[in-house]
Structure 1
Amino acid sequence: MKVLTKITDTISKVAEWIIMAMILGLVGLIVTELCRRNFLNQSWLPTTELCGILFLWMAFIGIIPLYNKSGLIRLDFLVTRLHGVAAEIVWYITDLVGLGLGVVMIVAFNAQYRFVASRTYATMPNVHYTIQYIPMAIAGAFIALKSLEMLVGHIAAKKGGKAA
């Protein structure tokens, strides 16, 4: 259990660095484009599409550290107010919904793959649309993994075992 927690924490740290790189890339692209347009009267056509890709990476990969630290909106407020069996039921429902969300994100990526793999961007003909869907699959895999980790840890704690 501790190994799985260490793995998810490491993935979360890597995701934080990826998010920072995406934000830096967005800021750099936007500032560069503004300077080119205002001072040089030029424009780089792929800017908009590249910013869209960076934003999607930032948004989906940003889910990873939030989910790892229970920072997403969940029904935890309800679990803390409930006691006994009702609290347990709500906790399991919340965790299973998270697991389901992660699985659905992976399934959605697989379902869309054949359509997006054959399309390219208008201003970047060598870049396939798949690049903007990859972070959805990565985030989905992490959510599913973390949900399983929390489920196993919760069950182990309830059975008297050591929680992570």
Structure 2
Amino acid sequence: MGTVEQTSCFCEENHEPLRTQCALAASKLLKKPDQCRGVGLCSHLFWSGKTQESGGEEMHDGKRVIECLKKGLRIATQCMDSSVQVQLFVELLNYYIYFFEKGNEQIKTDTISQLIGKIREELPQLEANEETDQIKKHFQNTLDHLRARMESPDTDGPSYAGLSL
């Protein structure tokens, strides 16, 4: 996927099916966690992919990015192991934040707040072990990042108004 993202020799007419096929192939991987992670990675193809027409500029297709992320959430909810499910939610939360900070207007603070709420709801129900500790630390680091952004907002960056941690 990284190669497709960096490729800029295709015209839009050829690049679009390539991106779409990558997302489709990712959603057909054998294991659900791999599917979720693959679809999440494919979201980058629709944001920072380049075509001949764009002259090397990133395409920033926010609608397709959000479609990939929503599909990732649907796949994550299908995972039977709750600790894997929560880990995938945290990973997807990071994707949402990344694209929000990059200026994707399709991603709203409400969506990020809902995902944080879902993770907070599921996290206490996990069995205490080393894996759960890593998930909690990952989630805490993400929340710390958001708090830092809310306390000292970037003048050029997005507004975190309405985000509830």
TM interval, shorter chain, is under 0.3
TM-score (norm 2): 0.28
Of Structure 1 and Structure 2, the greater helix share is in 1
